[in-house]
Amino acid sequence: MGSQIRLLGWYSWIYYFVCFSFIVLNGVNGERRGDGTEKGFVFIHGKSFIGKIDDDFVCATLDWWPPQKCDYGRCSWGLTSLLNLDLNNKILLNAVKAFSPLKIRLGGTLQDKVTYGTEDYHHSCTPFVWNTSEMFSFSKGCLPLHRWDELNSFFKKAGAKIIFGLNALAGKSIQSGSAVGPWDHSNAESFIRYTVKKNYIIHGWELGNELSGNGIGTSVSADQYVSDVASLRFIIQNAYRGIEPKPLLISPGGFFDATWFKEFVTKAGKSVDVITHHIYNLGPGVDEHITEKILDPSYLNGEASTFNSLKNILRSSATSATAWVGEAGGAYNSGHHLVSDAFVYSFWYLDQLGMSATYDTRTYCRQTLIGGNYGLLNTSTFMPNPDFYSALLWHRLMGRRVLATSFYGTKKIRAYAHCAKQTQGITILLLNLGNSTTVQAKVALRFAKEPYGRVKFREEYHLTTQSQNLHSQVMLLNGNILSVNKYGDIPPLKPLYVDPSKPIVVGPLSVVFAHIPDVILPACT
């Protein structure tokens, strides 16, 4: 295997690793070349996988925010709301179709103020209105059924898998900052039954947005949430009687609070199929230091405790529910223009995908598909931002099984590996957060079997930006600019074919996906 070092057996590997680390540290790896090149090793344990993700792990959101939603003097949402998004845009259609399928979660801050214009909703179905005296500065808004029909027509054409976030505050009263009383599910049930009647396929129904723990705007106790979820479970079972598979029941869609989540998971039992939490670990979008946070390995490591805590709660309970990140925009209040919609954000985003997967997170929903300053697509032109291509490469290359992976060398390299998707071998993801050092990474495998036959190449996908401009909205794949053509077609993502005996070369401030097809690991077979 040339560059790959076979280290057999767990205990022998520990012994070799300790010895080998010392040799590398004081020999090859400690010797930085004058041309700014450093050597390192990607260690992959291949006996068993440490986590699993869904085939459609990559997910994106669509939100409710009207054009009047502004943050820090910038109004970044335009016409990207579920109520006004141009569903006839070719780039939008092709962007979703490129994933085949893309999970799309419909929801966000205003979802707990949404009503549904069903036959038994005896009020005018009007959109959100700016009102600073209201929670989140908007009135209640209504989803007309004709718009729901249009959305479903688009989703069917695009091949999307839809998660719909229901209003969990209906019927509740706000007392001392908390929402109390049982959920009034009448409007939601009518909406669900209409959806079933129209044969619209919904992958999951999610109840509530950011009401867990202290909540955002208001909160609901874990005990009451369990009761409300049980009501939704009953509605789904009845509305989908005789229909299989039934949609997933998903909740709570809030920020992780260990005490609240543990009580909720324990008491909810089998009522819930998926436990969702939200991530905005980079702070407010107005923060001028977001880029520094993204390029700081110790800062990125901070979110691991959340993933691990939720994993342990699910593992120690009787539930069969899995963990999802239901919404993650990194920087809250719509992100930061030329940061969250620029090349640099792929370091945060891909690291989040890789890290969450190692803790058995099954799906990761990016805020947003389009809208705000953190869309995968540009709010006004619909052109893909850099993170769109990062997401698409992950979706096509990283398989369901997650491998234990570590990097020995500079701390500026982030390394993840999965069994390859729909093909043999493994795919390695390497992120170089350093701005001046090129890293030559060799691959060290444990428990690898002899390959069926030597392949003559390794497939590599190098993501860079022009002149190392981290705030550029242009991404290059293997040196070529990625852009849609005049017909709105998403460009093909073609690899470089590299001699497998050579180390993986990761340039400064770049991302590399490397598919090694002839690796055979027990974890992947």
Give the tokens for residue 75.
């109004």
Whether omega before 109 lies within 30 degrees of 0, making that bond cis, reads no
476 neighbors 468 (Cβ within 8 angstroms): no
Give the tokens for residue 261.
């989540």
471 neighbors 71 (Cβ within 8 angstroms): no
Task: Give the count of beta carbons closer than 10 Å to the beta carbon of residue 425.
Answer: 21
- Is residue 460 annotated as a catalytic residue, yes or no? no
- CA neighbor of 1 nearest in space, from 521, 434, 525, 523: 521
Q: What phi, psi does 20 have (nearest 5°)?
A: -65, -35
400 neighbors 54 (Cβ within 8 angstroms): yes
For residue 458, the cross-strand partners are 498
What is the spatial distance between Cα 190 and Cα 125, in angstroms, rounded to a whole number? Answer: 15
- Is residue 210 annotated as a catalytic residue, yes or no? yes
For residue 480, the cross-strand partners are 477
Write down the catalytic residue from 210, 303, 459, 460: 210
Q: Count of alpha carbons within 13 Å of 41, Cβ hemisphere only?
A: 22
Write down the catalytic residue from 206, 303, 327, 459: 327
Give the tokens for residue 42.
């990607």
What is the spatial distance between Cα 435 and Cα 420, in angstroms, rounded to a whole number? Answer: 29
- Beta strand segments in 367-503, E: 398-408, 413-420, 426-432, 438-446, 458-464, 476-477, 480-481, 496-498
Active site residues per annotation: 210, 327
